Amino acid sequence: MHISEGVLSAPVLVTGAALTAVGVAVGLRKMDSEKVPLVGVLSSAFFVASLIHVPVGPSAVHLVLNGLLGLLLGWTAFPAILVGLALQGVLFQFGGLTTLGINTFNMAMPAVCCYYLFARTIAHKPSGLAVGLAFACGFLAIFLSAILVALSLLFTGESFLAAAQVLVVAHLPVMFIEGVVSAFCLGFLKKVKPEILQVTHASG
């Protein structure tokens, strides 16, 4: 999901940075002091999960966990993902600082979409159905992110069409893996701390 520096056009980079700035501003407004520890933990999980990269053209395939972040954080997924990507860019040169805005948007916006699609339902459904919905959430989040990354490349130039198609196809296994991971984590939370889903939905 990381797009490397020197690939995208200036208009795409500026648009991505502007959209991310709006998303982070909304996320910070919704992040009270009680939510800070959860944001920190999930930002760390995102940071670690997305360190293992398999290069695919101008981007890379890796775990993201943005579906799970969306379920638990809502709009605060924006600052959580921004911090994780910034640290990866500075410490490991993954992505880069000029692409920080567009990379954050491509991963965080699907998280917010999945929050609105799934969080309310999952919070009020029995564990079995909630786990199934969590799988769908994890799968859909990666699918949407792959589409956004592909669009970022296409808006830069039609020469990236083949790379964009390969990138979406290459993420199909990741969609299933993310679905399974999201379902497992959600099932665990439903058993040991179900109130976190209620609090997340109320504050998102």
Predicted confidence (pLDDT) per residue in 2-59, tens digit: 788 788 899 999 999 999 999 999 999 998 888 898 899 999 988 888 777 666 665 5
- CA-based Rg of the chain, rounded to a whole angstrom? 16
Taking residues 127-140, what's their average pLDDT?
A: 89
- At 84 the pLDDT is 92
202 pLDDT exceeds 60?
no
Q: What length is written for the chain?
A: 204
* 52 exposure class (CB count in 10 Å sphere: 0-12, 13-18, 19+): exposed
In the chain the domains, ranked by start, together with CATH numbers, are 10-203 (1.10.1760.20)
Predicted confidence (pLDDT) per residue in 49-102, tens digit: 877 766 666 556 678 889 999 999 999 999 999 999 999 888 877 777 899 999
Closest to 105 in 3D by CA, of 174, 176, 166, 15:
15
| Nearest-angstrom CA–CA distance, 158 and 8 | 12
Round the average pLDDT of the chain to a whole number and report it. 86
Residue with tokens 């909304």: 26
Taking residues 163-188, what's their average pLDDT?
A: 87
Residue with tokens 């991963």: 107
* 195 exposure class (CB count in 10 Å sphere: 0-12, 13-18, 19+): exposed
Taking residues 110-129, what's their average pLDDT?
A: 85
Amino acid at 109: M
Task: Kindly indicate the confidence band of residue 135, based on its pLDDT and cuts at 50, 70 and 90.
Answer: very high
* Higher-pLDDT residue of 165, 123: 165
Are 184 and 63 in contact by the 8 Å Cβ rule? The answer is no
pTM of the model: 0.88
